[in-house]
Amino acid sequence: MKALIKLKIRLMKDNLILYVIMAAMSLILSAVFGGTMGGSYSPTIVVVDELQTVETSNIINDLQSEHAFNVKLMDYDAALDEVMGRNVIAAVVFDKSLDQGVNVIQLRDTVEGFQLSRLLEDELSLLENIKTLDSQLSGILVNEKIVFNQDDLYLEVKNTFGDQWENKRPITIESYLVASDNALTSNVSRHYMIGMTLFFVTYSLMFTVGDFLEDKRLRTLDRMMIAPISRRGILFSNLVSSMVVGVLQICFMVLAGKFLFHIDWGQNLLGVIGVGVLYIFVMTTLSLFVVSIVKTMAQLGAVSPIILTGMGMLGGCMWPLEIISSRLLLTLANFTPHKWALEAIEALTNGNTFSYLPILVLLGMGLTYLILGERVMYFKSLKDNQ
């Protein structure tokens, strides 16, 4: 069996171009997605300030200085033209008719637009709470017949309440952005590096395991069967050689992320690679299961992109699952190895409390696919030999 594994590894040079392309695609798309949605990228918005108040000026300043939006001030018609021309992601309109309200105008829903809306909701909620508290304190002072200056009171309430809001509020917009940061801001490059690696390595695995079909077509498998090695030994050698490809690609992408994109993988780099190896095991056994069902490489080439792309999209490789609101899609994501591998790796790299649930789920998926693939191949071989 060792000789067969060595032979399979030697023959991988025939698929070297495929492995290089998959690794290159991972790097390129990680750079594109990570550079566009994080890092130095600043989404551009236009603001129409019809209210012209101190509060709206503060909100506009916060959007630009604290939340890294590139803000342009203009009138309503010009802002609408900018949105329709797709020059900006959205227009923010502080409308007089809304009494301190705000409209967000955009052509379609985007991650940045969703983030912008939530930030504005938080800012307006803060203003509303300040106004309510100011009104209540004014009523108390009037009832107690205490002389006070309304403007000074409002300013004092605003400063005091603002400090409490920033430092002691139990539920804040910051908690939302912490989750969002993992995918949208400071850690976005790492997320897409992980996601693109997990996505593209599956193609390498699928077609490496698919060599089993070529062995069958070329009758090489028949000659293997008469060799002094069991059927399961032949199967195991194919799986081991395929996993070698996946593990090397995972290690390469981790190192590339560290030295090319300056990604901080945290203190548990071996844990990250360990989860990657477990993911490779799952996807190798999934590839075995798919290969056991199809009959030719042509069928494999037609079916595998549908399966792998669909699972990658559902599992969060293309975009963070935090921005998905559909319960159906989030439920389906639980059936993909990508989701659990991403969750485990990001927990390790972010320094969060690590849960063994993703590991157990991945292990269960791998064993299930292995048993199913082996059994299907066994029954098909019985049928072919009848």
Residue 318 or 92, more confident? 92
Instruction: Please indicate, yes or no, whether residues 59 and 27 belong to a single structural domain of this protein.
Output: no
Q: Could you say which of 138, 165, 181 is where a domain stops? A: 181
Over pLDDT 70: what percentage of the chain? 73
Q: Tens digits of per-residue pLDDT, 261-286?
A: 777 777 777 888 888 889 999 988 89
Can you tell me the mean pLDDT for 79-87?
88
Can you tell me the mean pLDDT for 87-109?
77
pLDDT value, residue 170? 44
Can you tell me the mean pLDDT for 288-308?
84
* pLDDT for 328 beyond 80: yes
Instruction: Please indicate, yes or no, whether residues 86 and 234 belong to a single structural domain of this protein.
Output: no
Instruction: Please indicate, yes or no, whether residues 32 and 122 belong to a single structural domain of this protein.
Output: no
Q: Tens digits of per-residue pLDDT, 207-246?
A: 777 666 666 666 665 555 555 566 666 667 777 777 887 7
* pLDDT for 187 beyond 70: no
Alpha-carbon Rg for the chain in angstroms: 28
pLDDT value, residue 224? 56
Structural domain of residue 33, as residue ranges? 2-37+186-385
* pLDDT for 184 beyond 50: no
pTM for the predicted model, two decimal places: 0.59
Q: Strands 44-49, 70-73: parallel, antiparallel or unpaired by DSSP?
A: parallel
pLDDT value, residue 175? 34
Instruction: Please indicate, yes or no, whether residues 380 and 345 belong to a single structural domain of this protein.
Output: yes
Instruction: Please indicate, yes or no, whether residues 28 and 121 belong to a single structural domain of this protein.
Output: no
Query: What are the phi and psi torsion angles at 49 (to 5°)?
Result: -100, 90
Return the residue matching tokens 């790492």. 190
Instruction: Please indicate, yes or no, whether residues 261 and 368 belong to a single structural domain of this protein.
Output: yes
Would you mind telling me the total number of residues written for the chain in this entry?
A: 386
pLDDT range class, residue 302, cuts 50, 70, 90: confident
Instruction: Please indicate, yes or no, whether residues 24 and 53 belong to a single structural domain of this protein.
Output: no
Q: Could you say which of 166, 181, 196 is where a domain stops? A: 181
Can you tell me the mean pLDDT for 79-97?
85
Nearest partner of 234 among 11, 3, 12, judged by Cα: 3
Query: How many distinct structural domains can be found in the chain?
Result: 2
Instruction: Please indicate, yes or no, whether residues 6 and 117 belong to a single structural domain of this protein.
Output: no
Instruction: Please indicate, yes or no, whether residues 93 and 213 belong to a single structural domain of this protein.
Output: no
Over pLDDT 90: what percentage of the chain? 7
Question: How far apart are alpha carbons 175 and 331 in whole angstroms?
Answer: 24
Can you tell me the mean pLDDT for 158-163?
67
pLDDT value, residue 153? 74
CATH of the domain at 113: 3.40.190
Q: Could you say which of 135, 160, 181 is where a domain stops? A: 181
Q: At what angle do helices 337-350 and 297-314 cross, to 10 degrees?
A: 50
Q: Around 153, how many Cα atoms within 13 Å sit in the side-chain half-sphere?
A: 17
Instruction: Please indicate, yes or no, whether residues 57 and 33 belong to a single structural domain of this protein.
Output: no
Instruction: Please indicate, yes or no, whether residues 228 and 366 belong to a single structural domain of this protein.
Output: yes
Instruction: Please indicate, yes or no, whether residues 197 and 276 belong to a single structural domain of this protein.
Output: yes
